[in-house]
């Protein structure tokens, strides 16, 4: 039995999900076995993503574009994080070309290092440093540049205190009484002013200027209560098409909001 495996409440051998090192080791094993990614790690305190849920987003995007593959398919990942997980999975699974934007200099440098450490996808992924926390696209998309897809896992909490409360709920669900961080996360990864709703509303407004530069704009939406306001915002900017794609992994439920304009590809 491995060092990170122990009997769960039902007497079955299971990964100790309350142990941050166990979660990271599981991710490393999944990325190596499923995608051939030999090197993956995160700096202390940064978000450790659940791989199945991240893969789901990528696969749903593939469905959205009729399973197109290859490097001519270009994707912008807004806020790629130190883990750089979406570009790594998307480039490995579908051969897509990615630009990953990031505002945190430490996360940016770490993501670049991960890309360079995996030669099988290094030529498909470029990391770019964003200088403004208020801009989703400006300063990242270059003049004349085109993307088939944009994607984003926005910070969904409004404050550090709210994010800490979410962590404690996760720990209680795992049966852990002692405080700790098995998932990690920094400002910009887990929280921002106005939370998820304000972030996505800003993204929708800014997307209108990129109607000719992008095909589908997409983002995760953690809280379904926000959907009516987001759909209203999309009608106001005259999006020609919008979709809500439900996702679920275990007890975790989320959804992808996707929209495009007539002039988009």
Mean pLDDT of 173-184: 50
If we measure between CA atoms, which residue out of 92, 85, 90, 89 comes closest to residue 111? 85
What is the percentage of the chain residues whose pLDDT exceeds 70?
Answer: 85
Name the residue range of residue 105's domain: 39-260
pLDDT at 173 over 90: no
Beta-strand relationship, 125-129 and 97-102: parallel
Which range has the worst mean pLDDT, 111-125, 159-173, 197-211, 216-230?
A: 159-173
- Whole-number Cα distances in Å, 18 to 13, 146, 203: 14, 42, 34
Is 127 a member of any domain?
yes
Q: Structurally, how many domains does the chain consist of?
A: 1
Could you report the per-residue pLDDT of 68-88, keeping only the tens digit for each?
999 999 999 999 999 999 999
- Yes or no: say if 136 and 152 are a contact pair by the CB < 8 Å rule: yes
Is 34 a member of any domain?
no
Dihedral angle computed from the Cα positions of residues 41, 45, 46 and 47, in that order, rounded to the nearest 10 degrees: 100
Tell me how long the chain is: 265
Q: Give me the CATH number covering residue 53.
A: 3.40.50.150
DSSP lists the bridge partners of residue 20 as: none
- pLDDT grade, residue 235 (50/70/90)? very high
Mean pLDDT of 152-165: 65
For the ranges 2-16, 41-55, 173-187, the maximum mean pLDDT occurs at 41-55
If we measure between CA atoms, which residue out of 62, 120, 61 comes closest to residue 88? 120
Is 13 a member of any domain?
no
If we measure between CA atoms, which residue out of 198, 233, 213 comes closest to residue 74? 213
* Numbers of helices and strands, H then E, in the chain: 8, 9
Mean pLDDT of 189-197: 76
- pLDDT grade, residue 219 (50/70/90)? very high
């Amino acid at each position: 039995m491995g060092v990170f495996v122990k009997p769960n409440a039902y007497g079955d051998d299971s990964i100790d999900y309350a142990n941050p090192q166990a979660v990271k080791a599981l991710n490393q094993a999944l990325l190596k076995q499923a995608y051939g990614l030999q090197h993956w790690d995160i700096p202390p305190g940064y978000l450790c993503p659940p791989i199945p849920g991240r893969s789901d987003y990528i696969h749903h995007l593939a469905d959205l574009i009729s399973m197109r593959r290859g490097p001519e398919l270009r994707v912008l990942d807004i806020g790629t994080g130190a883990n750089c997980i979406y570009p790594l999975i998307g480039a490995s699974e579908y051969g897509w070309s990615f630009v990953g934007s990031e505002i945190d200099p430490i996360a940016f440098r770490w993501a670049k290092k991960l890309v360079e450490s995996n030669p099988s996808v290094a030529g498909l992924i470029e990391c770019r440093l964003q200088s403004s926390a208020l801009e989703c696209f400006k300063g990242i998309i270059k003049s004349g540049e085109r993307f088939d897809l944009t994607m984003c896992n926005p910070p969904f909490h409004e404050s550090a205190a709210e994010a800490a409360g979410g962590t404690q709920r996760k720990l209680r669900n795992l049966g852990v009484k002692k405080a700790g961080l098995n998932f990690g996360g920094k400002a910009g990864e887990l929280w921002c002013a106005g939370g998820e709703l304000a972030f996505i509303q800003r993204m929708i407004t800014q997307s209108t200027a990129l109607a000719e530069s992008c095909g589908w704009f997409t983002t995760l939406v953690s809280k379904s209560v926000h959907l009516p306001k987001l759909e209203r915002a999309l009608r106001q900017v005259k999006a020609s098409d919008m979709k809500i794609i439900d996702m679920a992994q275990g007890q975790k439920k989320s959804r992808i909001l996707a929209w495009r304009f007539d002039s988009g590809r």
